[in-house]
Chains A and B, each alone.
Chain A
Amino acid sequence: MAADSKSKKSPWWTPREVSEGQSAHLTLGPLSMTLGHGVDEWILEVSSSEETALDGNNTRLKVRKGLPDEAGERFVHAGEAERVVLSPMLADRPVVIRPRQPVFLLGGQSITLYLSTPIWLKVEIADPPVLLKEFPVMRLSDTWFGASTREGELCYAGRTHARHKLADLPQRPHRAISPMTIRNETDKPVPLEKISLPVPMLSLYGADDGSLWTQRVTLTLEGGTEQARVKIDSDLPEVARTLERLAGPRMEGGRSGMTWALNLLLGT
């Protein structure tokens, strides 16, 4: 059912040619998008629904004749350009995720959790690429993550749960999986109730089968202080597939390697 875009051919993010009078249709999880090449313009129509269990195998990208019916957004671009590049990107704000049940991480222990965050889609045309639009695959709810209502930052609420085993996490083409290792080097148990994943500092990698990954993030909770050290791996995540780098971090030179206040990463 996903012959167009899975392992046999190429993933949905490889560039396509869309000539005048044709449209590219993409179905990706809850997202359904049509990009039509009109006369001296490009027409973009996007619709997003709720996530369902069928999202795992409905990835489809087809180029067909005909332009979108309803008035989508129109971008004037006169020229012979036919190349269309649809690329995935990570969220533009940190995402707050809760484990399935609250976990106490005892002193000296460490745990690896697998978190998934929805991706953004970037639509570009022509070569060199001209950006048309960048939008999320599904509408995410805002949430506040911080010590109080005066200090903190606006994040997205990840409505899914963090899993302890990779096999437990369903593979969904519109979500990127991030492994996160938390090391408790203090001698007190630390409750893990909600975690803020610093998504803008991560890079996005993709495999041939359409799955999306980010690097591993390691949080080390140091003894004696209310601080945690964040380290973002510069290597590819260790999953049994060949990965290609699709997007760099949105925030260059981020705060990896520096200490963060504990309450900015693990809400209490």
Chain B
Amino acid sequence: MFDRLADIIAIEGLLLFGRAIVLVTLGLLLASLCARLTASGLRSRLTPQLLQLARRCVFYAILGVFIAAALAEMGFSIGVIMGAAGVLTVALGFASQTTASNLISGLFLIGERSFEIGDIIRIGDTIGEVLSIDALSVKLRTYDNLYVRIPNETLIKSEVTTLSRFPIRRLDLQLGVAYKEDIAHVREVLMGVADANSLCLDEPAPLFIFTGFGDSALEIQFSVWAKRENFIHLRNGITAEIKVAFDEAGIEIPFPHRSIYTGEVSKPFPIRLVNEAQTASDTDKED
């Protein structure tokens, strides 16, 4: 009789276990199917990041429901598990504050759309192209081909400049010309250089600003606009052209000047030659 009981219990147990396994397998299949359907349905409306996030959410949600059902089937009380999970969550929460902050910051960054994959951003001193916006961080590729990981929290908290947002960009050149030059003539020469350069946009018109009377030179800011993609070409091209145009027009870009006085402006600067007699006799001997 005990053997029969043992047999019955064993079969019951196996059946239960079997049912639980079937539930989990069914859950897996259904979850992956739903995830794929969600992905294909929303593909045109969401960015790749959001799409993957949605897909994962749907998958784990459905799988979670089926696993809970399987556990209930096997006789585990969900309540106890939930209680334990609650305590664990609090502990994990305290431990993973930064991670959670990064996660939430990531969601907000994606939602805000101030930059997207492929944009070029500058954060602090790092300039790079955005490769991916992940859950916890953003990955950049710098111009010298280095891989930089920036936590989302840092991006939310600090100033991020998106260099590739607008189609045209202004180049500000700071120049100095000698005090003897005629400012109107300098302006004419600079405008001529901008006119001749085909990468430099006619509109918005180049800007000539006289910024001030510097220590050694008259300080001028010359700003020209270009299509964003042509910015580097313009920067290299126009500086060379300005130098050539200045040389041709005889406009001097001065070196820094310092005037030295020995206390009185009107008196000449006194100089004393050392070892004058000795040097003179040395040269006589060589001859």
Contacts and interface: CB of A to CB of B under 8 A. Distances in A.
Q: Which label, helix, strand, loop or mixed, suits the secondary structure of the A interface?
A: strand
A154 interface: yes
Interface in A125-156: 139-145, 149-150, 152, 154
B204 A144 contact: yes
Interface in A218-268: 267
B203 to A, nearest CB: 5
B201 A143 contact: yes
Contact of B203 (A139, A140, A144): A144
B202 interface: yes
A157 interface: yes
**Which of B167, B195, B225, B230 is most buried by chain A, counting CB atoms within 10 A of its CB?**
B167
A148 B201 CA distance: 14
Interface residues of A, number: 15
Given A150-B166, A154-B167, A145 B227 contact: no
Contacts of A141: 195, 197-198, 200-202
A96 interface: yes
Interface string A143-180: 11100011010100100000000000000000000000
Given A142-B227, A144-B225, A154-B227, A149 B202 contact: no
A24 B205 CA distance: 41
B168 interface: yes
21 contacts: A96-B203, A140-B198, A141-B195, A141-B200, A141-B201, A142-B199, A142-B202, A142-B226, A142-B227, A143-B203, A144-B167, A144-B168, A144-B201, A144-B225, A149-B168, A150-B166, A152-B167, A154-B167, A154-B227, A157-B203, A194-B203
Interface of B: 166-168, 195, 197-204, 225-227, 230
